[in-house]
Structure 1
Amino acid sequence: MSNNSSRRPIHTRRIEYASFLREDGLYEIEGRLIDTVEASGNAIHVMSLLLTFDQNLTIHSVRPALEAGPFPSCHDNPDVLLGLVGIQIAPGWQQRVRAKISSSESCTHHMELLFTMGTAAYMAVSLAPELNGTAPLSHMREKGIEPYFLNGCRAWQADGPVVKEFFPELAVQR
């Protein structure tokens, strides 16, 4: 991005999600966050979260793990996330998570992982047909499933060329 050679790195945060379809039909997402202090090379946060949910995006389990944290209290209260079992990942996801779990009850970094796991969950469910050789967009069209991403970004605006091409029945005139 910047080609300014006079800058020095301070901190790197890496966040990664991996999604899986289990044999029992449930989905899992493993999220991992690593904060590294560049001067020392030490990771001050190394944490993971395993979210299990079904085709309807209803949460079945949440398992946090903390390998490294700067304070002993970072390891406190891992069961607070169990309050999310039974709720659905849907529009308003972050607000519903906040309503169930206050920021002082949980780890800020686990909450950050959870917030964007909602998007990863949608991706997992929509891409799962590829495991059987079916293109996800074709699968949605054939099943009459309205794409969750419709009007969710500029490319997928109902009045745009992408929707007109892939979902002409949902396209609207400008």
Structure 2
Amino acid sequence: MIERLNIRPARFPLALPPPTPRKLSHTRTVVYQGFDREDGLWDIEAALTDVKTYDFRVSTERPFPAQDPIHGLKIRVTLNDHMVIQDVATSMDDIPHPECAGAPHGMHKLIGCTMGPGWRKVINEHVGGTQGCTHLREMLFNMATAAYQTLPSGQWQRLELAGMPQPTVTKPPFHLGQCHSWAYDSPTVQRAYPMFYKPKAADVTGN
């Protein structure tokens, strides 16, 4: 059983302060999902929707009534256990310009690439600038985080269901050293991955 820790830093508030009087103008919703496929691969899906609370019109284009999606975009990336892309599918259900329909034409170039360190560079090399779509690139970049949330835990679950032992961790997971809580000298790493914990120099010397 995993113990839930109730740790709240006293110096920093965890809630937003009350806002000044205002009204909602625009909502962007982005949803990421990870799927464990029956064939042993993994699907990571992203869906992005933009809506406004008022009738809106892009110059020279059709009007968008309030609450009608201006953007309704979806991406499905299929990965193997090593986070190598096996397939990419894109849906442009709602777009502000008819030319937007051609934006995904280069997405297949990502097949064979790996979601991992340097992922943003990989995206820009294959579908950057006018080769792709700003919103699709934003979705792709954050799909790597969703993939990391899906694959390692899903792989462990597969082993557990099969009655097989969990593999020994021999190298630092990718997320170590990437944020405040997972700094190598943090108590989080000391608890979760003591073999990779690196105390600060002051802690070692006792100063």
Q: TM-score, normalised by structure 2?
A: 0.76
1:8 aligns with 2:23: yes
d(CA) in 1 for partners of 2:145, 2:19 = 34
Ranges of 4+ aligned residues in structure 1 off by more than 6 Å: none
- From 77, 87, 102, the counterpart of 1:61: 87
Classify the secondary structure of the residue corresponding to 1:114. helix
RMSD: 1.9
Q: Specify the alignment match of 1:27 in structure 2.
A: 42
When normalised by structure 1's length, the TM-score is: 0.89
**Aligned partner of 1:53: which letter?**
L
The answer for unaligned runs of 5 or more in structure 2 is 1-15, 55-65, 201-207
Match of 1:18 among 26, 33, 36: 33
Equivalent residue runs for 1:1-174 within 5 Å? 1=16, 3-4=18-19, 6-39=21-54, 40-128=66-154, 129-130=156-157, 133=160, 139=166, 142-174=168-200
**CA deviation vs aligned residue, 1:83-126 (integer Å, no higher than 9, x gap):** 00001111110011101122212122111110111111111112
Q: State percent identity of aligned pairs.
A: 28
Q: Distance in 2 between matches of 1:16 and 1:133?
A: 28
SS of aligned partner of 2:124: helix
Specify which structure has the bigger relative contact order, considering alpha-carbon pairs within 8 angstroms and separated by 6 or more residues.
1
**Any idea what SS the aligned residue of 1:76 has?**
helix
Return the letter of the residue paired with 1:14.
T
Residue 6 of structure 1: how far off its partner (Å): 2.3
Deviation at 1:4, TM superposition (A): 3.4
- Tell me which structure has the larger Cα radius of gyration: 2
Q: Secondary structure at the match of 2:73?
A: strand
In structure 2, what is the Cα distance between the partners aligned to 1:78 and 1:71?
14
Deviates further, 98-107 or 66-75: 98-107
